[in-house]
Chains A and B, each alone.
Chain A
């Protein structure tokens, strides 16, 4: 299946600092999806990337899909305490495969 490695596993930032999480694959991906899971909650779909080199923005969040479609990143500018949670990437066709996630802690 299309598996991805996600790094880092944990990230602690001061409020206002930027944050980035990366997903990397050894094979070309057809698409990649990103999710956010708040503490105690369930994963919530954020965005889908399909095209090579695609960049999408949602307010302070910027999502990128690599030119070779083997990697993707999620960047948060000027983190806020509301950004706390675990961010997952997801690939796959029928058997949807999730990265191990990056847990973000924001220190006020």
Chain B
């Protein structure tokens, strides 16, 4: 599992509340990613990071922000959760510049009510 831990694994929150999901890795990989997975849409990239304090947007970044203050942690924040953000969120890492394969965490199931 490439030493990736996501927390929490499940969360139910109310519309309008802030939510932060955490991705922790133990192997100092440079690249980290946040995806959301919804039926019929596959895995869609929200944000990714290529180093401490270096992040970039993915295809569905609206309503999300990220931070990476340490190599091992990549945080995803929903500033004001909406029902459309109900989804399964996956964190992934990429092991190196020459390697294009990703290794995923176990996922976080977020429900916004």
Contact assessment for A95 and B45 in the assembled complex, using a CB-CB cutoff below 8 Å: yes
Contact assessment for A99 and B100 in the assembled complex, using a CB-CB cutoff below 8 Å: no
Contact assessment for B105 and A42 in the assembled complex, using a CB-CB cutoff below 8 Å: yes
From the candidates B41, B43, B48, name the one contacting A43 in the complex (CB within 8 A).
B43
A-B contact number at CB 8 A: 61
> Min CB distance, B98 to chain A, in Å?
10
Interface of chain A, main secondary structure: loop
Q: How many residues of B contact A (CB 8 A)?
A: 25
Asked if B94 is at the interface (CB within 8 A of a chain A CB), the reply is yes
Return the CB mask of B47-62 against A: 1 if under 8 Å, else 0.
0101000001011000
Interface centre among A35, A42, A99 (most CB of B within 10 A): A42
* 10 A-B pairs in the complex with CB atoms less than 8 angstroms apart: A31-B100, A45-B103, A90-B100, A93-B100, A94-B50, A95-B45, A96-B100, A98-B43, A100-B42, A101-B42
Chain B interface residues toward A at CB < 8 A: 31, 33, 35, 40-45, 48, 50, 56, 58-59, 90, 92, 94, 100-107
